[in-house]
Amino acid sequence: MFKAVISEAKEFKKIIDAASNLLDEICFEVSEDGIKARAMDPSHVALVSMDIPKEAFEEYEADVHDIGIDLEAFKKIMNRAKAKDKLILELDEEKNKLNVIFKGTARRKFALALYDVSSSNLQVPDIEYPNEILIKAGAFVDALKDADLVNDHVALKVDDGKFIIYAKGDLNESETIFEEDSEDIISMNIGENARSTFNLEYLKDMTKAASSDDILKICIGTDMPVKIEYDIGGANLTFLLAPRIES
């Protein structure tokens, strides 16, 4: 069996939004400890990992199940959540559906068809990074918006103790520099200068679910995948994005 009650449907919607920007389908691996899911996008450029411990739920009861979901359909249903709705997720094993129930002034139920998506058994690779930056999501997203004006990819750099978001187009350039004492920076753990270039659209998708005051943990090296990690409503979201590399 699987039944989970989430006090704020809107918080869970953010998690589904973040995943559905990058993935078509996902397998939720539910167990008595909580829900986890790991998947790569079809092009293998990005990896999404989510961990929602049972403590993040108002009520939680589950055996071990793999629940395969079409994320586009799930996202459309979650878009129907109202501000004060509770969310109940419930596996109907007989009908092979996931019941998605919004409980507000009325009880509204959707039965979502399950997909035969087997769990990937993916692990987030344990990479050692020379640099780790904790930054307010709003500040980072703003820097990405600046970069978006000049090109569709962006360099994330660590230079001389500063964290720099830099883009260069045919004609124009943009640069945002964060120093360690900036109000937007929570901490910078800098080991060495680094530079990696990334597709901007992916970075925007990965950070879309974060509110501006949420804290992003960004790990970067030179020509390495970037790791971006943040928490939403007690759930942990981790993303890896492969870089663009000079050939």
Residue 207 binds to other proteins (criterion: CB under 8 A)? no
Size of the site for other proteins (CB under 8 A): 27
For the segment 144-183, give every residue that binds other proteins (CB under 8 A): 151, 153, 155, 168
d(CA 44, CA 73): 22
Residue 128 binds to other proteins (criterion: CB under 8 A)? no
Cα–Cα distances (Å) from 137 to 50, 96, 207, 240, in that order, read: 18, 38, 7, 16
d(CA 185, CA 135): 5
DSSP character for 78?
H
Provide, rounded to whole angstroms, the least separation between the CB of residue 9 and other proteins: 32
- 37 versus 100: smaller Cβ distance to other proteins: 37
Provide, rounded to whole angstroms, the least separation between the CB of residue 163 and other proteins: 19
Residue 34 binds to other proteins (criterion: CB under 8 A)? no
Cβ neighbors of 133 (< 8 A, separation 6 or more) are 158, 163, 178, 185, 187, 188, 189, 217, 218, 219, 220
Provide, rounded to whole angstroms, the least separation between the CB of residue 44 and other proteins: 4
For the segment 92-111, give every residue that binds other proteins (CB under 8 A): none
Residue 245 binds to other proteins (criterion: CB under 8 A)? yes
- 177 versus 245: smaller Cβ distance to other proteins: 245
Q: Which two tokens stand for residue 131?
A: 């640099």
> Which residue from 5, 40, 77, 215 is in contact with other proteins, where contact means CB under 8 A?
40
- 75 versus 168: smaller Cβ distance to other proteins: 168
Selection from 81, 74, 72 nearest residue 10 by Cα: 81
CA angle centred on 206, ends 14 and 221, rounded to 5°: 145
Cα–Cα distances (Å) from 69 to 24, 45, 78, in that order, read: 9, 21, 13
Binding stretches for other proteins (CB under 8 A): 40, 43-47, 120-123, 125, 127, 151, 153, 155, 168, 197, 199, 224-225, 240, 242-247
